[in-house]
């Protein structure tokens, strides 16, 4: 029996950005000189999560706050992030198309097909009994919950000691004949125990034993969570011990708690370059009064992903002319719009992106242009400016809501020299992905029981 209090986790943040879901000025002012410092190297300093705070809180922070890699400068960090992002998008496209693959050193067992790229945001969770605190990546586009485990035949470097199931009084292995094992795609068997393998889009993977274990979030204890205990792991998870899958499938953390939470959860992603932490909330408290709600769209070919009904795009208060079907999910499972915490940059079908970009360029013709950077083809040299006036960018959703983004969520600095780029890119297929840069600082809430995603009503 999973135990869960009526509240679960919540933390509100105060950010100096503006957000509206209905009326909004057609232009915003972006303060060039007040952007976060860009030349600070990331050297591996671990944030202090043991400071006194509300014990019902589960904090989120961006991976760039603690990295095992030292970046030479902001330009180096950006290119590393865009390489991860490109791998992530390619993996999502393979997943939805039904393509599966495995790598040679996976051995002769099975691959689950959960081939997503490693994520961008981390939480602190206690694993086992007594709980051992571990950093875990959150991922709304995959379902598996797992941590690296002893004995570790192959492990990447993590910031905390590797979890040892022999020291946990609540660890229970899952047998091959268990119904839980049957829920793992292409599950395997070894010495009577259920085995799993997951490969991610950037070449990362985890392989090990499926178990039931206790997870602790502050004072909240959740028992009998089906979790992977990874004995062979490789990848770009930086200092994290594993991954907390928040996808729409039955094996995700959200799916396993459906009876207790109704599939309700929400998050606020911390803005880049700030010292703030974001939040992750489970349960009905994640559904704020006054939010604007958009229907979720189900794709049977990809049940882990959260699809939304996007109907149009706007620049400066003007809706961009696009075919009515530009963002539709077809009956064969192609196209559509996915919201994803692990993808950084929003991707749009090529024709829609070109019209959107050209609409933005036409309203920023007074700003000096710069050469493209990485995956960005529309950039500006703002090195000589204190502030600039830019048109607003809006998403038009089905059933009426309009989400107008804060300026920093669509025009982002890409180096230390004042170069800013339009933070969108073209998708090689009809699939659109709303990435985490566009979601930063906005309350995002999922009501799985009723099939809605909500925005707002406040910044966070």
Query: Catalytic one among 139, 143, 415, 447?
Result: 139
Fold matches, 39-282 and 288-459: yes
* Residue of higher predicted confidence among 190 and 154: 154
Print the SS3 string covering the chain.
Answer: CCCCCCCCCCCCCCCCCCCECCCCCCEEEEEHHHCCCCCCCCCCCCCCCCCCCCCCCCEEEEHHHCCCCCCCCHHHHHHHHHHHHHHHHHHHHHHHHCCCCCCHHHCCCCCCCCCCCCCCEEEEEEECCCCEEEEEEEECCCCCEEEEECCCCECCCCCCCCECHHHCCCCEECECCCHHHHCCCCCEEECCEEEEEEECCCCCEEEEEEEEEEEEECCEEEEEEEEEEEEEEECCCCCCCEEEECCCCCCCHHHHCHHHHCCEEEEECCCCCCCCCEEEEECHHHCCCCCEEEEEECCCCCCCCEEECEEEEEECCEECCCCCCCCCECCCCCECEEECCCCCCEEEEHHHHHHHHHHHHHCCCCCCEECCECCECCEEECCCCCEEEEECEEEEECCCCEEECCHHHCEEECCCCCEEEECEEEECCCCEEECHHHHCCEEEEEECCCCEEEEEEEEC
Task: State how beta strands 242-245 and 132-139 pair.
Answer: parallel
Pairing of strands 193-199, 188-190: antiparallel
pLDDT of residue 383: 93
> What's the whole-model pTM score?
0.81
Does position 11 have pLDDT exceeding 50, yes or no? Answer: no
pLDDT tens profile 295-304? 999 999 999 9
Whether residue 24 has pLDDT greater than 70: no
Q: Domains of the chain: which residue ranges?
A: 39-282, 288-459
pLDDT band for position 454 (cuts 50, 70, 90): very high
Tens of pLDDT, residue by residue over 352-388, are 999 999 999 999 999 999 999 989 999 999 998 999 9
Sign of CA dihedral 346, 350, 351, 353: positive
| Pairwise pLDDT comparison (64 vs 285), residue with the higher score | 285
Alpha-carbon distance of 367 to 117, in angstroms, equals 35
User: How far is C-alpha 64 from the geometric centre of its chain's CA atoms?
Assistant: 14
- Alpha carbons 116 and 380: distance in angstroms, whole number: 32
So what's the architecture of 288-459 in CATH?
Beta Barrel (2.40)
pLDDT at 39: 29
pLDDT of residue 106: 19
Read off the pLDDT of each residue in 248-273 and give the average, rounded to a whole number. Answer: 87
Pairing of strands 424-427, 346-349: parallel
Residue % of the chain over a pLDDT of 90: 51
> Which of 6-10, 163-167, 318-322, 340-344 shows the lowest mean pLDDT across its residues?
6-10
- 3 pLDDT band, cuts 50/70/90, is very low
- The span from the CA of 224 to the CA of 129, in Å, is 12
Interval 139-171: pLDDT, tens: 898 899 999 999 999 999 898 999 999 999 999
Q: Are 227 and 146 in contact (CB under 8 A)?
A: yes
Residue 265 pLDDT = 94
Average pLDDT, the chain: 80
Q: Is 139 noted as a catalytic residue in this protein?
A: yes
Q: What's the sign of the alpha-carbon dihedral 112, 115, 118, 120?
A: negative
What pLDDT does 37 receive?
A: 37
- Of 281, 153, 286, 133, which Cα lies nearest the Cα of 216? 133
Q: Across 232-236, 239-243, 377-381, 410-414, which has the greatest mean pLDDT?
A: 377-381
Please tell me which residue in 64, 202, 340, 447 is annotated as part of the active site. Answer: 340
Which pLDDT score is estimated for 215? 96
CATH topology of domain 39-282: Cathepsin D, subunit A; domain 1 (2.40.70)
Q: How confident is the model at residue 342 (pLDDT cuts 50, 70, 90)?
A: confident
Query: 158: which residues sit within 8 A by CB, 6+ positions away?
Result: 134, 135, 148, 237, 239, 240, 241
Structure confidence by residue, pLDDT tens digits, 242-252 = 999 999 999 99
Q: What is the pLDDT of residue 207?
A: 94
- Of 62-66, 178-182, 226-230, the least confident: 62-66
Distance CA 322, CA 192 (A): 56
Q: If you average pLDDT over residues 286-296, what whole number do you get?
A: 91
């Amino acid at each position: 029996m999973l135990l869960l209090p009526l509240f679960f986790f919540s933390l509100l943040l105060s950010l100096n950005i503006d957000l509206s879901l209905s009326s909004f000025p057609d232009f915003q002012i972006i303060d060039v000189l007040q952007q976060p410092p860009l030349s600070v190297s990331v050297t591996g300093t671990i944030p202090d999560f043991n400071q006194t705070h509300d014990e019902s809180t589960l904090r989120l922070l961006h991976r760039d706050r603690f990295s095992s890699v030292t970046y030479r400068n902001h330009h180096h960090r950006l290119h590393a992030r865009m390489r991860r992002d490109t791998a992530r998008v390619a993996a999502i496209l393979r997943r939805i198309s039904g393509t599966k693959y495995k790598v040679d050193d996976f051995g002769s067992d099975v691959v689950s097909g959960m081939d997503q790229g490693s994520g961008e945001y981390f939480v602190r969770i206690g694993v086992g009994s007594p709980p051992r605190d571990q950093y875990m990546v959150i991922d709304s586009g995959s379902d598996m919950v797992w941590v690296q485990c002893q004995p570790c035949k192959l492990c990447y470097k993590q910031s905390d000691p590797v979890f040892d199931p022999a020291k946990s009084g609540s660890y229970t292995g899952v047998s091959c004949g268990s119904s839980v094992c049957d829920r793992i795609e292409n599950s395997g068997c070894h010495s009577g125990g259920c085995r799993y393998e997951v490969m991610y889009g950037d070449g990362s993977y985890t392989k090990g034993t499926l178990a039931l274990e206790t997870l602790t979030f502050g004072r909240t204890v959740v028992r009998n969570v089906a979790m992977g205990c990874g004995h062979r792991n490789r990848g770009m998870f930086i200092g994290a011990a594993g991954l907390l899958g928040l996808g729409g499938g039955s094996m995700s953390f959200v799916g396993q708690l459906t009876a207790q939470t109704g599939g309700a959860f929400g998050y606020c992603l911390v803005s880049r370059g700030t010292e703030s932490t974001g939040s992750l909330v489970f349960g009905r408290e994640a559904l704020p009064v006054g939010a604007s709600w958009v229907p979720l769209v189900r794709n049977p070919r990809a049940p882990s992903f959260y699809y939304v009904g996007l109907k149009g795009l706007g620049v400066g208060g003007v809706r961009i002319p696009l075919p009515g079907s530009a963002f539709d999910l077809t009956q064969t499972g192609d196209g559509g719009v996915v919201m994803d915490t692990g993808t950084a940059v929003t991707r749009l079908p090529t024709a829609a992106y070109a019209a959107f970009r050209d609409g933005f360029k036409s309203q920023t013709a007074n700003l000096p242009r710069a050469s493209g950077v990485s995956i960005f083809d529309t950039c500006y040299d703002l090195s000589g400016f204190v502030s600039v006036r830019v048109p607003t960018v809006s998403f038009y959703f089905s059933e009426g809501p309009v989400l107008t983004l804060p300026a920093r969520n669509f025009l982002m600095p890409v180096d230390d020299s004042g170069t800013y780029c339009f933070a969108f890119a073209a998708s090689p297929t009809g699939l659109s992905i709303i990435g985490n840069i566009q979601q930063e600082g906005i309350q995002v809430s999922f009501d799985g029981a009723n099939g809605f995603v909500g925005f707002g009503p406040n910044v966070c």
